[in-house]
Structure 1
Amino acid sequence: GPKVLEHLVDTVLYFEGDKDHNYRMVRVVKNRFGPTDEVAVFQMTGDGLKEVANPSQIFLEERKKDVAGSVIVPTLEGSRPILVEIQALVTPTVFPTPTRKSTGVDQSRLALLLAVLEKRMRMPLHQSDVFVSVVGGMKVYEPAIDIGILVAIASSMRMSPIDHNTTLIGEVGLSGELRSVPRLDARLKEAKQMGFKRCVVPEYHIESFKGSDPGIELIGASMVDEAMRALLPFSQRPSRTPANAAC
């Protein structure tokens, strides 16, 4: 089968990256003698590939502050926390079927999250084109960035930027709940080192940090709408009954 070559070797590395960007990722997908899912980041230069010692700083150095549709999420690649910028653009569609495009994010995951946003937050995205991108050409596979994608989309739709000192993390379930993520302490440490002051996290994690100082203000949220209200000033809790129920 197509995996016969992988079965013959001890280590398999994937060389990833967007041809339009200078950065490349070497991802470990098989390793008989160590952990998998580790990532090393390199920069293409005139002298060849150079290792990037601090990927978070590289991916955020051109970030524009107070721009609607932009959020920072502390993702985890293997054992390495990396802060990435997720951008979203929402525009009215002129076609019967709206466009949904993603770069660096799984397309089927984006479709699922858009359904959650429409159902749980009552956002009329069926009349809008939606574009989502991970800046820098990086591909992020973990569901812990779910809430970042949703907030970026809502921020773009409402033209309401979030505070540039705030980051967020959390997997989103189909009922709109925020679920726990692995190794939150390492993510928070990386966010603090990059100058962030606050982080919206699943409510589940708040209890584990009682009596300790994570070095960054934690804002707990158990549902998507709670996270929206904490980040976007004009977010309101969606009505539990249809808008025309009184008619």
Structure 2
Amino acid sequence: MRPVFICRGAGPAVPATRCRDGTIAPTHCGRSLASRPGCFPISITGRYWSLGAGCRIVTTAENTDGGILPRARTIFLCLECGTSHERHMGRCPDCNTFNSLKEHRIASESARTETRPIEERSTAVLINQIEACEEDRIATGLIEVDRVLGGGLVPGSGMLISGEPGIGKSTLLLQIAQSISRQGQRFLYITGEESAAQVRLRSDRIGEAGNELWLHSECDLDSIEQQIGENHPAVVGIDSIQTVSWDEIPAGAGGVVQVREVTSRLLNLARKVGFPLLMVGHVTKDGSVAGPRTLEHMVDGVLQFEGERGHNLRILRALKNRFGSTDEVGIFEMRSDGLRQVDNPSGLLLSHRHSASPGSATAAVLEGTRPLLVEIQALVTPAAHGTPARKPSGIR
């Protein structure tokens, strides 16, 4: 157990190279403990620290009053569903995934409580005593995006944009950033997957950015929080949340613990300062959001950006939205110069249809509050075997 130096009656233990009164200077005596009773071991290498007057050395399990200091607790987190367990198992009992439990050490409840001053803790109040306030939404300037959001971005909210690789998530986030910056509102774009020069090249290709679009290529959480405090942005966008890491957590970026803790800190900062937070998230092979399952519960909204490979049509739908409906969809067309909003999706869906085509019919479907005209084709070919087969495509 690692020792820490403390002064007699000087409060909690100080894990530092000097004692609280500054009288301890690290020295290596090079002698055995029996020959130098005034020195104490700090590692298995045989080195010793010399104590100053009025000080003593204790382990991390002992404090100056003879009590016990908070110990770290070991839990096992499932990398698939994010649930925690007290012991290691070969299969997670919640999601039935084998070999998905990884060890993680967390501070005890008393240690986490001591880090927060008592005067900063909130108290319960009557709901009638809370002053109701209607904050103005920040319009993105993209009609299709605002339609899905319910009118714009709510200050202090956290939204997650998910989708398959290459579907256009980064392009959508950058166009939102360009549109908001052209309105004179500062947008801080954090990129962890590309350099600032690469984002600039893509920005020049898809449109003109305003004077308030700021780029920061960084993956360290502390540096991101510092940039947010220095720039005072109206909106913050992160591409992507799986690339951001916090040095206090001994795990790689994109892990269950990293994603959960990083998202929690950024959401708390967004609510405290009052800026909307847009985060791009990866998806797994089955199309679900990568990382812990609690990630979808932590954010205020989950926007899914979807489309088929080989087709230019892109659909933005809200799987979760605490500030609006989840029935609306936004329709875009992917082009070489970025995403173009589709004002008349029925015209785009029926643009290649010939009026005299046999075996096809036009049907009307309702997506949210928007009626769409789609083409349904019934193609019949002679069966090669005795039992014919029906194979639907594009119909759910």
TM-score (normalizing by structure 1): 0.40
Going by fraction, where is helix more abundant, 1 or 2? 1
Larger Rg, first or second structure (1 or 2): 2
